[in-house]
Structure 1
Amino acid sequence: MRLEDTEYTGRPWRLHEVAADFEVEDVWQMPTPGGPDDLDRLVRSFALGDGSVVSGGVVGLLFAARWRLGAIFGWDAPGTGVGTRVPSLRERLPDDLAAGPRGPDPSSLPFTSVFQTHDEWVAELANGTVHALLHLGWVPDDAGVYRAQMTALVRPNGWGGRVYMAFIAPFRRLVVYPRMFRAIDRRWQASTGA
């Protein structure tokens, strides 16, 4: 379920300390009910999944189209990524986050982990269109059940990046995220025995 931006901006995430120049693009509640110590299990499942969500069906076609357009327009060319076009967010981390665990790098998406705490995980990617952050936060509801909240944050690369983000918004919100969350829900339910 899509949430208001304030569900991210109103919480005391450590990411706020180092990413104030990023714009909140999307905030979603994920179908992952659990306890206070389950974020690490979710991050590992999310990052080290089999990639079937992004490799098959309609989502797979959308990703294939994106990679093809990226090749044509040079969006993913050497020199457009983290450490080349933009410095890694890791360079901004305070000492305690820099010395702490990074978490796993996603195997089926071109993100690199930045940091992981007990209730928060951040990964980043950059290309010719954006510098993007993927934030998973672990939040309790009023009944004491915890769930993941996924936030996408971006720094568009000029007007072209803004046009690109506006163009892909309906695809992300209507196709990619709902299918991705259904797959996460199935994996989560199977791993909890529910």
Structure 2
Amino acid sequence: MKLPRTAHTSHDWLLHDITHDFALEDVWALPTPGGPDDFPRLLSTFFERDFVSQAGLPTRFLWAARWKLGALLGWDKEKDGLGARVRTLRDRLPAELRDLPVGPEVGPPFSTLYTRENEWAAEMANRTVHGILHLSWVPDGRGGYRGQMAVLVRPNGRWGSAYMAAIKPFRYLIVYPQLLRWWERHWDRRATTPA
């Protein structure tokens, strides 16, 4: 379920301290009900599965088309990524956190920024945007907890803003609905699988 911006901004996330120049694009409640200590389970579900390869045909097609278009237009060259055109946000972390292990890696194009008790963040950059994926574990308002996902972006000029506007309908109509069903399916499986 899509959430208002305040569902993300009302929490005291470390991410707020390092993303003053990013726009909050989306906030979603994940269908992952649990208890106060289930955030590691949320992360392991995310890292143990490959959403794109298990998604429906429309999402797989969009992903393939995006990478093909990116290759043709040169959007994803190393010189436009993290550490080249864009400095990693790890440089903005407090000094005492910068040298700590970052936690699990989700894999390209994302690079993990940090992992804390109830939040994890990763970043990616290409010629169009510098983006952040933020997963967190929050009270659900009914005595339980659930996962929450936020996406923040800093477009690279007018072209980056146009790119974000162009992909928005596909994200809302195809990608996010399939992603939420994927979360629910894999969360339910983990809940019913014996340890």
Q: TM-score range by the shorter chain?
A: over 0.9
TM-score (norm 2): 0.93
Q: Cα offset for 1:9?
A: 1.2
Q: Which residue of 1 aligns with 2:109?
A: 110
Q: Cα offset for 1:47?
A: 2.5
Change (3 A) 1:39 1:176: same
Deviations 1:62-89 (A, max 9, x none): 0001001101111001201111110111
Looking at structure 2, the residues matched to 58 and 52 of structure 1 have their Cα atoms a distance apart, in angstroms, of 10
Q: Cα offset for 1:50?
A: 3.1
Q: Cα offset for 1:38?
A: 1.1
Matches within 5 A, 1:125-144: 125-144=124-143
Aligned length: 193
In angstroms, what is the RMSD of aligned CA positions?
Answer: 1.6
TM-score (norm 1): 0.93
Deviations 1:5-36 (A, max 9, x none): 11111211111011111100001000000111
SS at match of 1:79: helix
Q: Which residue of 2 aligns with 1:150?
A: 149
Q: Which residue of 2 aligns with 1:3?
A: 3
Report the AA paired with residue 135 of structure 1. Answer: H
Q: Which residue of 2 aligns with 1:178?
A: 177
Deviations 1:148-173 (A, max 9, x none): 11000000000000000000011111
Deviations 1:94-129 (A, max 9, x none): 13432444221114x521110011111000100000
Percent of residue pairs bearing the same amino acid type: 49
Report the AA paired with residue 71 of structure 1. Answer: A
Q: Which residue of 2 aligns with 1:20?
A: 20
Q: Unaligned stretches of 5+ in structure 2?
A: none
SS at match of 2:86: coil
Q: Residues 101 and 117 of structure 1 are in contact (CA less than 8 Å); yes or no, is this contact kept in structure 2?
A: no
